Structure 1
């Protein structure tokens, strides 16, 4: 990622940048009146007898000036008043408030039994200004022990953002979650298109190990660029064809796909790094794409492009290609215009939820998992969750972390591992997939040297110490002068081979069937 800016600088020389007509910087950010949506999520997806309780959170997309009674039904295998303290069938959110809590206080019946579920479905409200949105159902499982909880194939969809996902997407969620107990998949961004010294052909990981990575990272950046006019002669459209073709190839090989999105700011459509943006753009870009904002329709057009791609990638088996979508990554920093310096936590959550709902419910994308991945700035669960949109909107809990592994020795390894421990714990409680979504150490020969034992010692310890469970990790891309994964001629190749030979690492040739649920 850190080399992406250099790549874009070269492209800007070769490609004439044309900016589509959008609102000028002088245009105000309009906020049109609309109804408030009410949704439900959970504080944790698993509670235990007798001491660990939980709650459902009923949330409005915006506050209203009158109290709102929200009615709901209770289903599931657990029994109201017997397995947990009595719940009514409604909750009242006070005027000018955004949320209310349905507390789940578990009762200990001293009986050893299988996992039981509490499922709450929002049905209606007594306020004409508040409507129930698509995230109307949430599930909490009562287990005798969080660590003993086992996800079953038949229950998998209930823990996903999209319970109506394709069979292959549900299988991907289940298999990633299950695989993380014993292994992690090794991936790389642009593995089929980014090569050290521009030495094309097999992926650089395959050149070194004999196998492709188990996960391919891609990006919607060029696909959603304003200059992509969809014609065969257009450079950006050509990149779209390469990117989607690589993703389909990865699926056909049994690999996992993940897409980031370096979305350009909406005023000129040129940049995503704030260091290259005007003060006006930095202060207003994010707010302008919120519902009611001056560039909201522009953002919906970009989501339409994402949906069109998602619904057009088809494998040799005739099935839509499932993939993990990772928008607004590293949102806790200030280097991207969606970072914490440029929007409030509530604004970030609002846009995340809109993005999920628009793709899933309006554009009917059913082959997508959603990944939440801050950078390494957090040191507690509360900090990690400070911009978390809720369990109903996230499938994968991730972290991007380069700094802790940038020649920081054992202290850096321990620091990175502690942060992954937080993700691991939350993923178990919430029945989500834990992942190390970006990492690596960038070596530019002549400028810096590889770190001795970086792969087999530092990185492997980071991902496996303290028995944490990570489904996958992803290296950033190799480029002409800089590598993150070594090719055979480099001195660190043996270290990398040792890393990929470790008991928990999986490359493409070692993957189980990721797209079929077990019987």
Structure 2
């Protein structure tokens, strides 16, 4: 359409030039401005674009507000922000708040310990204690107006011990994912895991008894093969079937209606057709995500541009499908032996998230550990760089989030 429009203008200009000296020539038709494209998403039709048409009011509002937020800002988050503290520092505040003065806008959590086979629900059980810590953090984040997301490093179904394919036999790698599908030998095992997930999500409640919305991204980074659900261990149709079953079981069988569902491969896809090769369908997905560490690993602006092109791809898909686009994981870990990259946050990451008019709703950094950090603490040499990044026009910590759980009047 752009070429046709340009050609029309050129022909029109040529005609005007040829006739400009002819006083008898009729006046040209007035130029008609192209129609203004209105936003298709409204507060009235928002449910029609969601994976769960029976979602709670707060969950509907979260979808709507995340979609609208991306027009002007992206929310900044971190995995385990309240419990992942660098170098055994004080856990009274998130490392991000220590550095910037404000908590992140997004808290990332995981169902891994919650669904662990060793979680017996007893108060003296370490895994159950982790469950309580995680759910308490979710409630705290919600009370502060933050957004909650959950990943799931689910253990493989044979020994129920590891989520890494490297820890499995060749036969286990070949059969594990297929075995959790309907009719598979471990399908009931998987349903019990989902029962636990459903129970936990259904008991996440705010101060008024309302259900707390979460964003759930099952089977993430599936385009790689480091996890047992990776591309080498299941076909596209098998992956879609597992994802679809997960959504329908939680949504329809268990009646859980406070979830937005995220589809989040790693960074291997640069074309939309490839990105959608394992996409389970619009009726099962709310968030189009991408995890990307590799493009930011000492690749400078070249890497940032590669990352931006991939984010542009999902941003365009999200605009077309009326979904949310997000960078569901990223970061560059600094350790005793790995130094920070100058201007990594304020130049490279920020340009990747904003160039080419893309609309990304949120970005999440991975966990700060004792021996390394993704978000710098106040004394770190790149703390100023992070503060600059967090204060830029399109950056949003919790203090600059709108009310995410209410639809605008």
Under a length normalisation based on structure 2, what TM-score does the superposition of the two structures give? 0.91
Question: Is the aligned partner of 1:405 residue 2:302?
Answer: no
d(CA) in 2 for partners of 1:395 and 1:179?
A: 15
Greater fraction helix: 2
Q: Deviations over 1:114-160 (max 9, x none)?
A: xxxxxxxxxxxxxxxxxxxxxxxxxxxxxx77x53341111101100
Q: Which residue number in structure 2 is paired with residue 155 of structure 1?
A: 45
1:485 aligned to 364, 375, 378, which one?
A: 375
Question: Is the aligned partner of 1:337 residue 2:214?
Answer: no
Question: Is the aligned partner of 1:416 residue 2:303?
Answer: no
Aligned ranges for residues 137-176 of structure 1 at < 5 Å? 148-176=38-66
Q: Which runs of 5+ in 2 are unaligned?
A: 1-31
> What's the CA shift for 1:317?
2.5
| CA-atom RMSD in angstroms | 1.1
Question: Is the aligned partner of 1:518 residue 2:391?
Answer: no
Q: Which residue number in structure 2 is paired with residue 229 of structure 1?
A: 120
Secondary structure (helix, strand or coil) at the match of 1:386 reads: helix
Q: Which residue number in structure 2 is paired with residue 468 of structure 1?
A: 358
Question: Is the aligned partner of 1:305 residue 2:229?
Answer: no
Secondary structure (helix, strand or coil) at the match of 2:139 reads: helix
d(CA) in 1 for partners of 2:97 and 2:208?
A: 24
Aligned ranges for residues 93-112 of structure 1 at < 5 Å? none
Secondary structure (helix, strand or coil) at the match of 1:162 reads: coil
Aligned ranges for residues 379-394 of structure 1 at < 5 Å? 379-394=270-285
Aligned ranges for residues 284-303 of structure 1 at < 5 Å? 284-303=175-194
> What's the CA shift for 1:507?
0.4
Q: Deviations over 1:47-94 (max 9, x none)?
A: xxxxxxxxxxxxxxxxxxxxxxxxxxxxxxxxxxxxxxxxxxxxxxxx
Aligned ranges for residues 499-514 of structure 1 at < 5 Å? 499-514=389-404
Q: Deviations over 1:4-41 (max 9, x none)?
A: xxxxxxxxxxxxxxxxxxxxxxxxxxxxxxxxxxxxxx
Q: Which residue number in structure 2 is paired with residue 497 of structure 1?
A: 387
d(CA) in 1 for partners of 2:316 and 2:38?
A: 13
1:239 aligned to 127, 130, 154, which one?
A: 130
Q: Which residue number in structure 2 is paired with residue 179 of structure 1?
A: 69
Q: Which residue number in structure 2 is paired with residue 452 of structure 1?
A: 342
d(CA) in 2 for partners of 1:389 and 1:318?
A: 33
> What's the CA shift for 1:510?
1.3
Aligned ranges for residues 98-137 of structure 1 at < 5 Å? none
d(CA) in 1 for partners of 2:130 and 2:55?
A: 28
d(CA) in 1 for partners of 2:151 and 2:117?
A: 17
Q: Which residue number in structure 2 is paired with residue 318 of structure 1?
A: 209
Q: Deviations over 1:213-267 (max 9, x none)?
A: 0000000000000111111111100100000100011001000000000000011
d(CA) in 2 for partners of 1:167 and 1:518?
A: 12
**Larger RCO (CA under 8 A, 6+ residues apart):** 2
d(CA) in 2 for partners of 1:416 and 1:148?
A: 28
Secondary structure (helix, strand or coil) at the match of 2:222 reads: coil
Secondary structure (helix, strand or coil) at the match of 2:315 reads: helix
Question: Is the aligned partner of 1:192 residue 2:73?
Answer: no
d(CA) in 2 for partners of 1:488 and 1:377?
A: 34
d(CA) in 1 for partners of 2:232 and 2:302?
A: 28
Q: Deviations over 1:360-386 (max 9, x none)?
A: 000000000000000010110100000
Q: Which residue number in structure 2 is paired with residue 261 of structure 1?
A: 152
d(CA) in 1 for partners of 2:42 and 2:265?
A: 29
d(CA) in 2 for partners of 1:158 and 1:391?
A: 10
> What's the CA shift for 1:318?
1.7
> What's the CA shift for 1:316?
1.3
Q: Which runs of 5+ in 1 are unaligned?
A: 1-111, 113-143
d(CA) in 1 for partners of 2:287 and 2:43?
A: 17
